Structure 1
């Protein structure tokens, strides 16, 4: 797949899934596969809430090139791909879900007007400590599992877990994720079979890969993401090294303190054997009188 752009780069992902041309087939079909178990009926139509993309954002390491859409019932979906593990994905996803939920209400509206928000996170790293590649979360009662309200729904789909077990090839969601994860082109026909919308996603990726401007923007974005990952790796490595150094220094200091204490205890024991008073020994050694009393009991 060396001649094709990588769908896991958020710039490419947004072009394939978040364009006006692709929202009614590519995005709609993909979302319906993701939400097959949680939505009572498939989405019929979508309106993109952030179709534009600022080219200046491509060089911003912190920029979020997500896909945000609303269905015919007013439910909102935020679809995002993440290639860098910032170790804060659950909090980050919950924050954006809560923000989407809160932003729906304008002055004078009622809480009953609030619609469901769905956050879908596709990760190129492992986040959830189980073997499932697709995990879904809701607000539920701890003991009974009873759903409090269905208004917040968060998905994590981890691409590295696709290879942990044999996935049925009739699972259309698996086919979508294999394409996103960079399945070789000689498998495309097999993946696209009986998977609505996937063929168009593949055609879009081919077109982007042959477009000089798209490839230039893609390289800009890849560099920004690489810079971010390098900065995180550097900070993590430095943190480990500083931790080791701090540990060594603490060890040396503790060793010296223990040595001094043992020396004082030896002096105190010698003085006790000679019959000197606890008060005098405490004054000479700097040890607490109670500790000298304990030492005296051990000696005698």
Structure 2
């Protein structure tokens, strides 16, 4: 995942910010946008964003052969193309009289029209359809439907769990607090390892610190979730802590400290 901001070439130039900008292991660039409402000149805007991103892939003086492929994926919640019922349209640079001839494969723009996608759960034929179904139905999916989707794809399972987690939390910002605490605990464990490493050996200290930091981070994250009464299975999936260990942590959460009696 890269910085979604496209650099400006001039001071007066309009700043462009994408929803998601990413690079794969081959160096190709992908940008993804979700568009909820119809917008005037949407096609020109899409091409403008693509061209800015394409032109920013190499520095002045670099060879053109270093320019990667740039893919644009636009998920729109409105009917964009009037002359087709297909929900997924792909645009490339091709010769008009002979579409088999392609000028270059460096340009590819995908328009995915969510309103035209009407498949049911049993009729999903590929990964894209599974994702589109999840995106459209996530707020109304029943438990059995979720389980069916999760079996189809580990990535969809991860996405559904993330949505469930945020929706169960009273304040979604607490999600970031959990992970911030986890990161602090993790770093604290590593720092402690460096200190003890002077006596035990740096390598051994680091290994112990990393292990201790990870364990402590997971436990503190789990305790925070348990206090918020989140589902124990969901906590197990997020933290990786076993149900047995989570039940032990639950006992600690439920155990109220005894008040001291002054004699």
Same fold per superposition (TM over 0.5)? yes
2:153 maps to which of 179, 195, 203: 195
Partner of 2:169: 211
Deviation at 1:50, TM superposition (A): 2.3
**Deviation string for 1:198-232 (max 9, x for gaps)?**
0000001111112334379xxxxxxxxxxxxxxxx
Cross-structure match for 1:131: 85
Q: TM-score, normalised to structure 2's length?
A: 0.56
Change in 2 beyond 3 A, CA 1:84/1:157: same
- CA drift at 1:167: 8.1
2:117 is paired with a residue of what secondary structure?
helix
Q: CA deviation at 1:106?
A: 0.8
Gaps of 5+ in 2: 6-14, 175-263
Over 3 Å counting, the alpha-carbon distance change for 1:63 and 1:215 in structure 2 is farther
Paired position in structure 2 for 1:143: 97
**Aligned to 1:119, what secondary structure does the other structure show?**
strand
| Counterpart among 62, 66, 70 of residue 19 in structure 2 | 66
Superposed counterparts of 1:90-239, under 5 Å: 90-129=43-82, 130-145=84-99, 146-163=101-118, 168-183=123-138, 184-186=140-142, 187-214=145-172
For the Cα contact (< 8 Å) 2:18–2:32, is it kept in 1?
Answer: no
- Give distance in 2, aligned partners of 1:189 and 1:140: 42
Give the conservation status (yes or no) of the 8 Å contact 1:139–1:149.
Answer: yes
**How far apart, in 2, do the equivalents of 1:72 and 1:83 lie?**
30
Shift of 1:118: 0.3
**Following superposition, which runs of at least 4 residues in structure 1 exceed 4 angstroms of deviation?**
62-65, 164-167
For residues 63-99 of structure 1, give each alpha carbon's deviation from its aligned partner in whole angstroms, at most 9, with x where no partner exists: 8550100011110000111101113221111111111
TM-score (norm 1): 0.49
Distance 1:137 1:51, change over 3 A: closer
Greater radius of gyration (CA): 1
Displacement, 1:100?
0.8
Aligned length: 161
Distance in 2 (CA, whole Å) between partners of 1:207 and 1:124 is 25
